[in-house]
Amino acid sequence: MRNDSATMRQIADESVRRLGQAGTVEVTKQEEVGTPDIPGLTDSPGVVQNLRLSTTLHGEPLELVQSQVYLGLEDVDRPSQRAVIELVLTAKPEQLAAVLDDFKQFVRSVRADQAA
């Protein structure tokens, strides 16, 4: 839950800064998705970004790619509060093709609980 005025892009940028503490981070794609006028999680304002990470593990160089999806969901009873859902896939570059379609399918399946 967030009750600040940070945009989805600013929240995504926060992630890049955090990851940058562990190594080099390159943003290879960043785009806004959805509109605030359409209800529902998959149509909510959000950001999709892809990153390339260079770090070390046990002293050995490690290259990773990461796909991040940030979705905002306003509390209809308290518009000043919102949930920010962060969905992340991390893989070695050579593994990405094998798991990316499953991740996209997972992201498309995420929905807000209409009963609550």
pTM across the whole model: 0.82
How many whole angstroms separate alpha carbon 17 and alpha carbon 75?
27
Q: What is the CATH number of domain 8-109?
A: 3.40.1000.10
Domain ranges of the chain: 8-109
Is the per-residue pLDDT at 87 higher than 90? yes
Quick one: CA torsion of 18, 22, 27, 33, rounded to 10 degrees? -40
Highest average pLDDT, of 68-72, 84-88, 93-97, comes from 93-97
Could you report the per-residue pLDDT of 24-62, keeping only the tens digit for each? 999 999 988 875 554 444 445 789 999 999 999 999 999
